[in-house]
Copies of this chain bind each other. A is one copy, B any other.
């Protein structure tokens, strides 16, 4: 059997188990340990696995699923998509839009291509959306990458949003009550405030699971928000209480 074929087989085996011993590989593939070892060296050099004593293991990150957040997209998937769609229609051609991190904002961002917008973002997933599209001008804030979210955080990101002015900010969060908007990621809060300061109009996109909920950190009062978009499953009582506080609410 040829080297290419063997390497493919090794990768297939490693995609199922996390670790394989050299001995097991040699047995399963039917080649000598020396040969397998050489294959492993090659595969390690191309970054496809990690060699260990006695075998090999998968390299830590899964190159397939870019972001852990992709998985979270499952919950309220349809609702998030509808909210995103509604937010995207509020953007006019060639406007400058700030896009926050989070799945719902991501759903909005991916529907903006036809508007030829200028997008300011600290979200790596959003940046990747338009990485090979010439129609959208995408400006990425700098910052330290916060792995779980794919968000750029820290002083560099914060300063970035202090420099610009935008027509619109499409924001996300983890909860909203009559007391204000909440977010569980404390690192993001200061950046989100700067985003809101920089935008003429602030829109929050929160699925119904977040309406009426609080989270660790309070981001802002409701009067800092121009529009909340959520879905029809949200409790009407709570939405009423928000409207009474002067917040414009749209349900989709």
Contact = CB atoms under 8 A, between A and B. Distances in A.
Contacts of A19: 2, 4-5, 8
Interface of A: 2-5, 8, 18-19, 21, 45-47, 50, 52-55, 57, 59-68, 81-82, 85, 110-111, 113-114, 124, 127-128, 130-135, 137-145, 147-148, 150, 152, 154, 156-157, 160
A17 to B, nearest CB: 10
A101 to B, nearest CB: 12
Contact of A131 (B46, B137, B147): B147
A131 B124 contact: yes
A127 B139 CA distance: 15
Contacts of A64: 63-64
Contacts of A52: 2-4
Copies in the complex: 2
Given A5-B55, A59-B113, 13 more contacts: A2-B53, A2-B54, A4-B52, A4-B53, A4-B55, A45-B85, A61-B133, A65-B132, A124-B140, A132-B150, A140-B142, A142-B143, A142-B156
A196 to B, nearest CB: 19
A134 B60 CA distance: 10
Given A131-B67, A140-B143, A47 B160 contact: no
Contacts of A145: 127, 130-131, 137-140
Contacts of A85: 45
Given A145-B138, A156-B160, A132 B61 contact: yes
